[in-house]
Structure formats: structure tokens, C-alpha cells
Homo-oligomer: A and B are copies of this chain.
């Protein structure tokens, strides 16, 4: 089944609307609040999600929405939008232009569309299930990486790995060519273009990863939870993305110990 072009157009329009709000606030002194989970949030996050939801409400009122800032509605709808207005709020509020807007669409629980949009650098990754991923309209592909000792690994921050997760992460980290922190969703974009080989994260929410799955898979990569299972909105927040299936398998083995 090919995806209704109206859904792709809506996703692109949501990314455009998000970028308009974000560019207005980027590198301005926005107030930063702290949420219950200790993560920061700003008026830019909230206004951006409001702008994205307004488009869904107008064109697809029957669809479900799961967003970082304004909660969940109609989770049992046939189509569910899973959105994060600013993935990488810590980067955003410090003026670092490597955060992104994430727009995922699930159809009966399966990821069918994903956008990673960097509105300052004006880079947009679009992934559609069964199709080749594009970045600003150009087809992109991951690179080969046959083993962990060749791998460039990204993770957003060491603190995302708690308890046993930290031990599992260290096992992978000690085997790769280069570990690095500070990517947020942008790291997955670099992986799809063949400039990084692995992204391993934990403590994620569905809006942090659902949009990323079609982008990674349409570029030739693989993205699962730490057991190698397909990701759903009910996954445990642990993800492994790899450009090469061999690196993905090796990462899963190292995580398992």
C-alpha cells in the first residue's frame, strides 16, 4: 500500500510551520522551564507543537496525536502522528543548531513516514516506508561498517544510560572506533548520509524515535530496540540504529554482554 500523498504533504507542511516558529526563537533569550522529568522546555517547544497540531486538526481531525509537549489524543486511531517539536531542547536553548523537529506517522502501529527537520541549517530528511530516504530531495544511503572497531558511534549524552544500561553501553563504547556525544536526532541524520555508523540511546520516548525509523530504514539502515525487536510506541526507550546490518548485529551482541 503506498502512502496517501496528502499525508506526505501534511508532514512537510508541519515541518515548515515548525521551522517558522523555531527560527523566530532561536538564539533569543527564551525563558527555560523545567518539566516533571527534569528536562527543559521553552515557549518555542510549546508554540511549535501547537502550530503542528493545528495543521493535523484542520486536515486530519480523525488522526491520533502523541506529542512531547501537549499530550496524547485518539491513540487508537488508524493513523497516529508522533511528534517532537524540538528534539534536542538543550542544544536549542544553548544556540547549537543541531536539534531537530521530529514528525512520525504510524499506521496501525507501524511506522510509515518520518521527517527529521533542522530548521536553522534548512536540512530535511524524509523517510517513507518502502521508499528511499531523501535529504533535501536528494537520495541518501548509509555506508558499510562490517565491525564495531570501524564504527563511529553517537549518543546524545552519557546520562541517558542508567544502571545496567550504562554497563551495556560501556561494553559497546569500548569496542567502537570513536564514541561521541551531543547528537540528538541530528546524529541519526548523519548516519543515514554515511558519516556515522551507530546511534545507541536509552531513556527515549516514542516521540524521540518513531519519526527516525523510516528515515534510517529507507537509507539502508536498521533500527530496533536493544533486543533487536521492531520499535513501537510501547517500546522501552532503548534504541540501536546502524547503517550496516553487520554493525547492528555486533552492537546488539555487545549490549547483551
Binds B, one of A9-17, A43-51, A67-75, A180-188: A180-188
Q: Is A96 an interface residue, CB under 8 A from the partner?
A: yes
State the Cβ distance, A6 to closest chain B Cβ, in Å.
Answer: 33
| Measured CA separation A40–B152 after assembly (Å) | 12
State the Cβ distance, A216 to closest chain B Cβ, in Å.
Answer: 15
Q: Which residue of B lies closest to A180 (CB)?
A: B90
Copies held by the complex: 2
Q: Is A154 an interface residue, CB under 8 A from the partner?
A: yes
| Measured CA separation A159–B174 after assembly (Å) | 12
| Measured CA separation A178–B152 after assembly (Å) | 26
Contacts A178-B90, A180-B90 given; does A195 touch B157 at CB 8 Å = no
Pick the residue among B93, B121, B181 that contacts A158 (CB under 8 A): B181
Q: Does B180 lie within 8 Å of A180, measured CB to CB? A: no
State the Cβ distance, A184 to closest chain B Cβ, in Å.
Answer: 9
Q: Is A107 an interface residue, CB under 8 A from the partner?
A: no
How many residues of chain A have a CB within 8 Å of chain B? 30
Q: Is A190 an interface residue, CB under 8 A from the partner?
A: yes
| Measured CA separation A179–B186 after assembly (Å) | 19
| Those of A81-136 within 8 Å (CB) of chain B | 90-91, 93-98, 121
| Measured CA separation A180–B88 after assembly (Å) | 11
**A183: chain B residues within 8 A (beta carbon):** 96, 182
| Measured CA separation A190–B90 after assembly (Å) | 13
State the Cβ distance, A198 to closest chain B Cβ, in Å.
Answer: 11
Q: Does B95 lie within 8 Å of A190, measured CB to CB? A: yes
State the Cβ distance, A171 to closest chain B Cβ, in Å.
Answer: 16
Q: Does B181 lie within 8 Å of A94, measured CB to CB? A: no
Q: Which A residues have a C-beta under 8 Å from some C-beta of B? A: 27, 29, 40, 90-91, 93-98, 121, 143, 152, 154, 157-159, 178-183, 186, 190, 193-196
Shortest beta-carbon contacts, A-B, top 10: A182-B182, A95-B195, A181-B181, A95-B190, A94-B196, A94-B195, A181-B182, A94-B152, A94-B190, A90-B180
